[in-house]
Amino acid sequence: MAFNTELVGSTVEMLVMKLLSERAMYGYEIIQVVNQRTEGAFNWKEGTLYPVLHRLEGDGLLASEWQTGDTGKKRKYYKLTSRGLAHAEEKASQWRVFSRSVNSVLCETAG
């Protein structure tokens, strides 16, 4: 299913921050984890993910660091800053209330 661009755009930031609250990850890894967990429903591209990562980093919510992996490849790992962690929790909390509200309308049976 192809999702509406605005709908996807509004959730990318929150999902990225949720994943990075679990551990530090590099861009390609984030895309893989999202694809796995959504069973391919979200097919994020580079143009979707990297601008969000850079914007969050510019806002001081993420910090990045180049690291060399076991294979000798250099990867840029992102992690949440303390401000980012608080922001991620707030966003997740907002989303839970929002989605519950939307679902309560969508799932209500007439009668």
Which residues lie near another protein (CB under 8 A)? Answer: 26-28, 45-48, 50-52, 54-55, 57-58, 73-76
| Min dist. Cβ of residue 55 to another protein (A) | 4
| Min dist. Cβ of residue 81 to another protein (A) | 15
| Min dist. Cβ of residue 11 to another protein (A) | 16
Q: Which is closer to another protein, CB of 78 or CB of 88? A: 78
Q: Which is closer to another protein, CB of 23 or CB of 96? A: 23
Q: Which is closer to another protein, CB of 43 or CB of 94? A: 43
Helices 27-37/46-58 angle, 10° precision: 120
CA 35 to chain centre: 11
| Min dist. Cβ of residue 73 to another protein (A) | 7
Q: Per-residue DSSP letters for 65-85?
A: EEEE-TTS-EEEEEEE-HHHH
Cα 98 to Cα 104: distance, rounded to the nearest angstrom: 10
| Closest listed residue to residue 15, CA positions, set 44, 40, 39 | 44
CA 65 to chain centre: 18
Q: Which is closer to another protein, CB of 45 or CB of 100? A: 45
